[in-house]
Structure 1
Amino acid sequence: MHVVVTGMGVVSPIGTGVEQFWSAAIKGVSGIDKIQSFDSSKLSSKIAGEVKQFDPKEFLTPKYIDQMDRFTQFALHAANQAIEDAGGLDCYSPHRIAVVLGSGMGGFSTFESSALRRFQDRSIPPFTVPRIMANSAGAWIATKYGFKGVNLTCSTACSSGANAIGMGLDLLRSGRADTVIVGGAEACVLPLTMKGFEVLHALSTGFNDQPQYASRPFANGRDGFIMGEGAGVLVLEEQSNAEGRGAKTYAKLAGYGCACDATHIVAPDMVGQVAAMQTALQDASVKPDSVDYINAHATSTPLGDIIETRAIKHLFAEHASRLSISATKSMIGHSIGASAAIGAIATIQTLRTQMIHPTINLVEPDPDCDLDYTANQAVERKVDTAMCNAFGFGGNNVSIVFTNL
């Protein structure tokens, strides 16, 4: 069975909609700025990749806005785009349309605001619990469109979106669905979440006055990641079904690999990353030297970027020096459970356009990061096989492989 991508939708700090997002990515536009959604003066990290000019009233009534957390609104907007892009899915039985969404934090903005109200002895909104639920995004997508098939939520920290895509692939291969809406959404640019990552020494704190330069994957002087937010959603179908209904196809989803390194709850581990990438290649029946491009996890943390570089060099050996690599997070920050879904869209766009977006702010590479990271300028290159990496807290490592048809 060949599984293909027939629809895509994205909400990101550098653009909403695939074309706007990709145009900005190719130009190396930074979406990192000083936080506008709350007073960050008491935080050490005062910058983030926020989705600006997002107005849920453009596609939701006030009644439904009251019932949805911001992450759900992102997910639904991206899903609307993807389903429209796929030409609608009316030809499928609603009972055969599945939804698998990933989110690391779920409705955390509702949790934080409601907890604060409760501590102040104020009433909390009646839809507090449904807004907080991590599965609310998938549930609302299903409810809006009447999708009555499998509905799953994956929460594996930063690899949530990638695991959701892989789970969708498995549902199609196993015959449990005819089409699957997959992806990830996150909205945790919030005081508590930011402070939580700050005390882990995970966030950048040295570039508050130069936000656009703060996310610096693989660069000397990087000091942590930048919190981001957004959503990415894909429509997956079996190729013959897609072609039979006349749908356009963007790429083949060829392989999925997931491995827990079982080493440390927050520190990355090379062995687990190698295992995930190797499993994905085996699942796709692709040899390492056939891979042209990797959309790296590349969060801009001092240790994480080195470990991923070592993992790539270990698995790909001499071919590692011939790979093109780039880091979407250099422009949009780290959107946790949405990051791999947005990264997957960037990977597919690379296959479609034969253009590799840059890793911005890579003026002086870390000596331990010595591969081709597409520094600062987009590059045109023939790309037939591409990989997207996502490595999360809890030792959950995921890789997915896309190929041209």
Structure 2
Amino acid sequence: MARHRVAITGLGLVSPYGGDLEDFFQRVWAGESAVRWMVTEDEPRPLCLPYVRCEGFDAERELGKPLASMMERFSQLGMAAVFKAWRHAGLARSAAEDGSDRGQWGCLWGTALGGLAAHERGARELWLKGRERVSPLSVVMGMNNAANAHISIQLGLGGVSSSHTAACASASMAIGEAFRRVRSGEAELMVTGGSDVCQSVSVVKAWEAMRVLARGDEHTAPSACRPFSNDRNGLVLGEGGAALVLENWDRAVARGARIHGELIGFATNCDHTHLVRPDRAGQVRALRAVLDDAGLTPREVHYVNAHGTATPEGDPIEVQALREVFGEQAERLPVSSTKSMHGHLLGAAGAIEAVVTAMALREQAIPPTAHLAGRLDPACEGVDHVPQGRHANGLRVALSNSFAFGGSNVVLAFAAPAH
């Protein structure tokens, strides 16, 4: 089977830092936290916790009122991120504008929660407010494939259109499967990524009940997420969306597109051991499989964007897996968790971290694990955790890890634009 090179020709996001790609990366590279203390007025009880929110996002301004009104927020964030990535790739909005045949162009999208909020809102209207009916848009706003459906319709994509749900590996799974389709020649171009919103009282309280959420107050919230630190106490939830345009390399070159990076490998497996407890052996298998898929040796990897959620059990296991795969090189291998700054965006996490990884290679700059100086947990020793952002000339290859509830492990391999 032919294996085509896969170019990254477009990147876009809606993040807690705003929607400007360059500004986003510079602020993450500088170690600036987007985590804030959130107090809501939601009924039946308020939420008070460290959280990451896209404060400046205006769906009607970004998408127009008619389109925005048809979407739940996770779809709005996804659609806005895709529009940005599409413009970044220099592509026309419609096939009529450029005369393209989009029958082999598709969309694979990741989300963990999807439009859950639409169904929760309907239940509250029925049982708490005593209404007789819910909005007739509840089904189409609440379905998990709503985002990719809107994306495909708006861009006229006639190829595959599907959503992937694998907890916090959802977006990485979607990106990996989109990569496979372009590499195999099944698709010429794929738009992919993920979006999620985790703000409803019931969902946040469910995560809180698992005792995996970081604690804090209005003063300590910005440093609440501390991956690999000896005083970490959990993850910080949030919302956002990020998108990549993946394109057949030869096609991208022929149309004069700017290539922002290259996807060169994808691996996924299941721990098959426990619903929520991470497993070193499964992660090791995924890491080795992605090296094999990309034709890499451990020495050819220059950076790893870690899953690094700041949970007491998860962080040491990820480090152990990296040490087993990379051996003596692990001591010098830069490994950072940018969740320390942008939080854990669940189904969007792998997408925003894929953008970070691609940008790190393009800019030759490694983002840090924030809030770590002087706090490293001895159980997480053995890799270079990058406590401060650094320039890194010669940065050629990087991995992005996503290790999810349900035992789903996904690793993506990226190469710098000139690779």
TM category (shorter chain) comes to over 0.9
Is the counterpart of residue 32 in structure 1 residue 42 in structure 2? no
Verify: 1:255 aligned to 2:265, yes or no: yes
Q: 1:380 & 1:30 partners in 2: Cα distance?
A: 22
1:340 aligns with 350
Q: TM-score, normalised by structure 1?
A: 0.96
Could you state the TM-score of these two structures normalised by the residue count of structure 2?
0.93
Q: Which string of whole-angstrom CA distances, capped at 9 and with x for unpartnered residues, describes residues 322-378 of structure 1?
A: 111111100011000101110011101111111111111102101111121111344
| 1:368 and 2:373 are equivalent in the alignment | no
Count the aligned residue pairs: 405
Q: Of 62, 66, 72, which aligns to 2:65? A: 62
Deviation, 1:158, is 0.5
Are 1:104 and 2:112 an aligned pair? Answer: yes
1:15 to 18, 26, 49: 18
Cα distance in 2 for residues equivalent to 1:34 and 1:108: 23
1:127-159 CA distance string (max 9 Å, x none): 101111111000001111111111111000000
Matched, 1:284 2:290: no
1:67-146 equivalences under 5 Å are: 67-88=70-91, 90=98, 92-120=100-128, 121-122=130-131, 123-146=133-156
CA 1:326 to 1:91, structure 2 compared with 1: closer, same or farther past 3 Å? farther
What is the alpha-carbon root mean square deviation over aligned residues?
1.7
- The question of whether the paired residues in 2 share the 8 Å contact of 1:92 and 1:178 is answered with no
How far off is 1:312 after superposition? 0.4
| Local SS of the residue matching 1:368 | helix
- 3-state DSSP class of the match of 1:157? coil
Q: Are residues 323 and 38 of structure 1, via their aligned partners in 2, closer, same or farther at CA, if it must alter by over 3 Å? A: farther
SS in 2 for 1:232: strand
Matching of residues 289-308 of structure 1 within 5 Å = 289-308=299-318
Counterpart among 394, 413, 416 of residue 382 in structure 1:
394
Superposition deviation, residue 207 in structure 1: 4.8
Q: In the alignment, residue 269 of structure 1 is paired with which amino acid?
A: D
User: Structure 1 pair 269/207, CA: closer, same or farther in 2 (3 Å)?
Assistant: farther
SS at match of 2:401: strand
Q: CA deviation at 1:66?
A: 2.2
Q: Indicate conservation of the 8 Å contact 1:5/1:249, yes or no.
A: yes
Aligned to 2:8: 5
Is 1:328 aligned with 2:338?
Answer: yes
Task: Give yes or no for contact 2:11–2:243 (8 Å, CA) kept in 1.
Answer: yes
Paired AA for residue 415 in structure 2: T
Distance 2:158 2:171 in 1: 21
Q: 1-side partners of 2:46 and 2:369: how far apart? A: 27
Q: 1:183 is paired with a residue of what secondary structure? A: strand
Amino acid of the residue matched to residue 151 of structure 2? I
Of 199, 224, 237 in structure 1, the residue corresponding to residue 247 of structure 2 is 237
Give secondary structure in 1 for the equivalent of 2:63: coil
Distance 1:126 1:396 in 2: 35
The answer to whether 1:397 aligns with 2:409 is: yes
Report the Cα distance in structure 2 between the residues aligned to 1:155 and 1:56, rounded to whole angstroms: 24
| Aligned with 1:349 (options 345, 348, 359) | 359
Separation of aligned partners in 2, 1:2 and 1:181 = 16
Distance in 1 of aligned mates of 2:327 and 2:45: 46
Map Cα deviations across residues 294-329 of structure 1 (whole Å, 9 max, x no partner): 000000111111110001001111111111111110
Q: Which residue pairs with 2:178 in the alignment?
A: 168
Taking the aligned partners of 1:79 and 1:382, their CA distance within structure 2 comes to 30
Match of 2:320 in 1: 310
The alpha-carbon deviation at position 40 of structure 1 amounts to 9.5
How far apart in 1 are the matches of 2:99 and 2:387? 44
Q: What are the superposed Cα offsets for residues 164-212 of structure 1, whole Å, 9 maximum, x if unpaired?
A: 1110011112322110001011111221111111111111124554110
Q: 2: distance between equivalents of 1:42 and 1:216? A: 28
Instruction: Pick which of 294-303 and 206-215 moved more.
Output: 206-215
In 2, the alpha carbon distance for the partners of 1:194 and 1:68 equals: 22
Gaps of 5+ in 2: 93-97
One-letter identity of the residue aligned with 1:368: A
Out of 273, 278, 283, the residue aligned to residue 268 of structure 1 is 278
1:373 and 1:228 map into 2 onto residues whose CA distance is 23
Amino acid in structure 1 at the alignment position of 2:279: D
Please give the alpha-carbon distance, in whole angstroms, between the structure 1 residues aligned to 2:394 and 2:158. 40
| SS across alignment from 1:400 | strand
Letter in 2 for 1:115: A
